[in-house]
Amino acid sequence: MATPAVMLQGTGSNVGKSLIVAGLCRLFARRGLTVRPFKAQNMSNNAAAVAGGEIGRAQALQARAARAEPTVHMNPVLLKPESDRGAQLIVQGRRHGHLDARDFTGRRKALMPFVLGSFAKVCEGADLVIVEGAGSPAEINLRAGDIANMGFATEAGVPVVLVGDIDRGGVIASLVGTHAVLDEADRAMVRGFLVNKFRGDPALFAAGMTAIAERTGWQPLGLLPWLPEASRLPAEDALDLTGTGRKPGDTFIVAAPVLPRIANFDDLDPLRLEEGVSLVLVPPGRPIPSDADLIVLPGSKATIADLAHLRDEGWDIDILAHVRRGRPVVGLCGGYQMLGRTIADPEGIEGAAGIVPGLGLLDIDTILTGDKAVQPVEAVHAGTGYAVTAYEIHLGRSEGPDCVRAPFRVAGEREGAMSPDGLVMGTYLHGMFAADDFRRAFLAQASGGTFRASLAYERSIEEALDRLAAHVGRHMDVDALLAIAKERGGGQARDL
C-alpha cells in the first residue's frame, strides 16, 4: 500500500511553499500523525548538516516542524550556486562535483533513480509525506527530464496542489495560466489550489477564488492571509530576509556585507531577532556603517570570488577601519577564510588555480581542497565554557599562529582562530549564535558590557512553528488536503 502523499507546487519561486509545508508538517504532527517532508530538488546555498551529509535548510526546518530527524533523503538533489552558470551538485547529501547549467538538463534523467529511492526511504514508516516542488511546473521548456515538479509527481503518483502568491499581483492569471500551459496528463495531477500572502478582507477575493475554480476545475483549498510572524523562521533565500536594518531604539548595530554567493546566512537570524540589536545587511554600492558595533563576514559558496567583490566594493577598507577603532569582527566559514593572510586554490576548485591575499586580520593561511567537511558538531566556547551545538559545511583547512587562540574546542581539538588583541575571530562553526548562553556572553563582551541579550532563540522557533501551524489550520481546508493525499494511498491512511 502506497504511503499517502501530496505535493505543493507553485506558480513561481518564492510563493511560500516552504513555509506552508512546514506549517502542515507541524499541524499534522500535533494531530499525532507520523509526517515527513520531501523535496526532490532544491537550489540554495543555505544548507543544513545532517547525518550522512547536507540538505536544504528549508527541509531541515520542515523536519523540525514534523518533529522528525532530518535525513539526506528528504532532499536528495541539492544545487548550490557557485556562479551565474554553475553549481555544486549534492546527491543524497554528498558532493558530486560541479555542474554547468547547460549540462544539468541532460543529467537530470540520471538523477531520477536517486530521487525515487530517497522518496521511498522517506515514505517508510510515515503516515503522510508532504512534498514541495521547485520553481514552477509552468516552465514547460524544462519539462523533459524534470525531477522537481510534474516529472516527479507523475513518476511517484503524487497528487498536486498548486500555490499562487497574491502579494506580487496577477494570481488569477498565474493559476489559470499554469492550467492552460500544462499538458493534459500533468494537468490531471492537480487536484486543488491555494492562494497565499493575502492582505485585507478575504471577502473581497471570494469572486477571485470562484473564478479560478471555474476556469481550472480545481478545488479551492484556502486563502492564506499574510503572516508577519513567518519572518521569524529561517529564510531559504537571502533576498527573503526581512526585519533587517536599523530599528528605532536599538543600541547594538551588527553589519554584514551581502556577498554575491552568501551562504548559510541563517547564522545571522539569532542576531536579527535579538531585542535591541539592529542587523544591517549592507548591499552593493553602500559602505559598511562606520558606527557598527560588530561586523560579521558570513559564509560564501565562492570565497575567492566573493573576496574580490568585497574589495571592489571597498568593504575591505571599511573593515580595516572598523578594527582600528577597536571594534570586533567575526568571520564565519568563508568569511573566516577571507580574514587570513592567503587563500590558496591549488586544484582550481573555485576557478583558476592560484593563491590570493586575504584581509590579513588573522595570522592564518587557507588551502582549498576537494575534501568537504559536512558534520554536526558539539563545541565548547573556550572563553566561557558554554556548550554550542553547531555544524560544519566547508571545503579547505585553515592553519596558522592565531589558531593557538582558537575560540572553540571540538572533541578536545582547537577550532577557529583569534587575533592577539581578541578583536578578530574566525570559525568554521555555523549556528553558533543560536546558543543562547554563548550569544549573550559574546554580545556582552563585544559591547563592553553595555548590552544584555534576552532572546531564547530555539524556543522562539518552536513558538513560530506552532503559530504557523495554527494559521494554516484556520485558513486552509486541511481535511480536504488529507483526502487528496489519501488518493495515493488508495484511500487508506490512519484516521486523524
Tell me the Ramachandran region of residue 269: left when phi exceeds 0, alpha when psi lies from -120 to 50, beta otherwise. Answer: alpha
In this predicted structure, what is the pLDDT of residue 237?
62
In this predicted structure, what is the pLDDT of residue 103?
73
In this predicted structure, what is the pLDDT of residue 373?
86
Catalytic residue among 73, 322, 430, 475: 430
- 368 and 354 in contact (C-beta within 8 Å)? no
47-50 vs 53-56, strand pairing mode: antiparallel
C-alpha cell at 328: 570586533
Q: Is 252-450 a domain of CATH 3.40.50.1820? A: no
In this predicted structure, what is the pLDDT of residue 492?
53
- 20-67 pLDDT per residue, tens: 999 999 999 999 999 999 999 999 888 999 989 999 999 999 999 999
Quote the DSSP letter at residue 430.
B
Pairwise CA distance, residues 417 & 414, whole Å:
9
- 318-339 pLDDT per residue, tens: 999 999 999 999 999 999 999 9
Which of 437, 442, 443 minimizes the C-alpha distance to 457?
437
C-alpha cell at 284: 552593493
Quote the DSSP letter at residue 146.
-
Which of helix, strand or coil describes residue 489?
Answer: coil
Question: What percentage of the chain reaches a pLDDT higher than 90?
Answer: 83
Does the pLDDT at position 12 exceed 80? yes
Is there a catalytic annotation at residue 25?
A: no
Is there a catalytic annotation at residue 96?
A: no
In this predicted structure, what is the pLDDT of residue 235?
76
In this predicted structure, what is the pLDDT of residue 249?
78
Average of pLDDT values for 196-214?
96
In this predicted structure, what is the pLDDT of residue 496?
41
Starting at the edge strand found earlier in the chain, the sheet holding 128-132 runs: 35-38, 128-132, 5-10, 160-165, 190-198, 219-225
* ∠ Cα 111 113 117 (to 5°): 120
Residues 6+ apart with CB under 8 A from 353: 345, 346, 347
- 399-458 pLDDT per residue, tens: 999 999 999 999 999 999 999 999 999 999 999 999 999 999 999 999 999 999 999 999
Q: Residue 69: pLDDT band by 50, 70, 90 thresholds?
A: very high
In this predicted structure, what is the pLDDT of residue 96?
87
- 261 and 84 in contact (C-beta within 8 Å)? no
Pairwise CA distance, residues 95 & 80, whole Å:
10
Average pLDDT, the chain: 93
Which of 329, 339, 422, 414 minimizes the C-alpha distance to 379?
414
C-alpha cell at 452: 544584555
Tell me if 5-231+462-487 shares its fold with 252-450.
yes
In this predicted structure, what is the pLDDT of residue 200?
92
Catalytic residue among 73, 179, 333, 475: 333
- 94-111 pLDDT per residue, tens: 988 887 877 777 788 899
Residue 47 CB coordination number (10 Å): 29
C-alpha cell at 446: 563585544
Average of pLDDT values for 69-79?
97
Does the pLDDT at position 493 exceed 80? no
| Residue 423 C-alpha from the chain's centroid | 29
- Provide the CATH topology of domain 5-231+462-487: Rossmann fold (3.40.50)
C-alpha cell at 378: 558539539
Pairwise CA distance, residues 97 & 146, whole Å:
20
Domain segments of the chain as ranges:
5-231+462-487, 252-450
Does the pLDDT at position 316 exceed 90? yes
In this structure, is the dihedral angle defined by the CA atoms of residues 179, 182, 183 and 184, taken in order, positive or negative? negative
- 226-270 pLDDT per residue, tens: 998 888 888 766 555 544 678 787 889 999 999 999 999 999 999
Q: Specify the range with the lowest mean pLDDT, choosing from 200-204, 209-213, 370-374, 474-478.
A: 370-374
Does the pLDDT at position 143 exceed 70? yes
Which of 248, 277, 307, 300 minimizes the C-alpha distance to 433?
277
